[in-house]
Amino acid sequence: MLVHPQFDPVAINLGFIQIHWYGLTYLAAFGMFSWLATRRIQQAPYAAGGWTPREVDDLLFYGVMGVILGGRLGYVLFYKPSYYLANPGEILAVWKGGMAFHGGLLGVIVAMAVFAWVHQKRFFEVTDLVAPCVPTGLACGRVGNFINGELWGRAADASLPWAMVFPQSGSEVARHPSQVYQFLLEGMLLFAILWLYGRTRSAHYRADGSILWGRVSGLFLIGYGTFRFIAEYFREPDSFLGLLTMNLSMGQWLCVPMVVAGIVIWASAGRRA
């Protein structure tokens, strides 16, 4: 069996300030988004739509605000509402941990709607641009989870070549390195699917040549929801929640409306004027 190396969560210690690996992975995620989005506005149909690198910078700013505020509020509301209701002063204590992807997604959706309104863009035009640039950021986040030795997997057969003991779990049980599974599925594989699909003509044009919006966004919701649902079978449920109805985790239940919404958005994109 492998044993998690228990990295020091502090990457750089200058005495008066500490820079954590998790913070660096967030920085890498935002950097990757900026680079990919700058390349994406050079592709059809964005190249003819007047998008500029300055708008990409603005888009990143809105997205960062959405990720941080939405991710934190999502964790508070979806996972520990009673605790934070009793301790409202800790809601903003993000340095103590606690971010939820589904909350971050809702935060980004609101941020993209505000960006679209301010810059007079179509909402799905903005989200179709953003969608393929997001999974690499998710992959960076899973690297941070692995370095921190958090969000470990469920018990695995000790004969599994990549089964790993996470001492942080308080046991010597061999577990699935679920952070790696999520890095590969909702990170790298989802990125490859969306980036390649986003370059095809059918993703943005109807048969008559007119532009359509929403298919890339819909595929993102379908892809992430499906991959996360699968990965949750290998990830240890939160101890304070456990498994819910039908032996599904909170993460899996939150993925169900994502997939349904994705199917509706993708299917209706070609018919929407």
Binding site members? 142
3-state secondary structure labels for all residues of the chain: CEECCCCCCEEEECCCCEEEHHHHHHHHHHHHHHHHHHHHCCCCCHHHCCCCHHHHHHHHHHHHHHHHHHHHHHHHHHCCHHHHHHCHHHCCCHHHCCCCHHHHHHHHHHHHHHHHHHHCCCHHHHHHHHHHHCHHHHHHHHHHHHHHCCCCECECCCCCCCCEECHHHCCCCEECCHHHHHHHHHHHHHHHHHHHHHCCHHHCECCCCCECCCHHHHHHHHHHHHHHHHHCCCECCCCCCCCCHHHCCHHHHHHHHHHHHHHHHHHHHCCCC
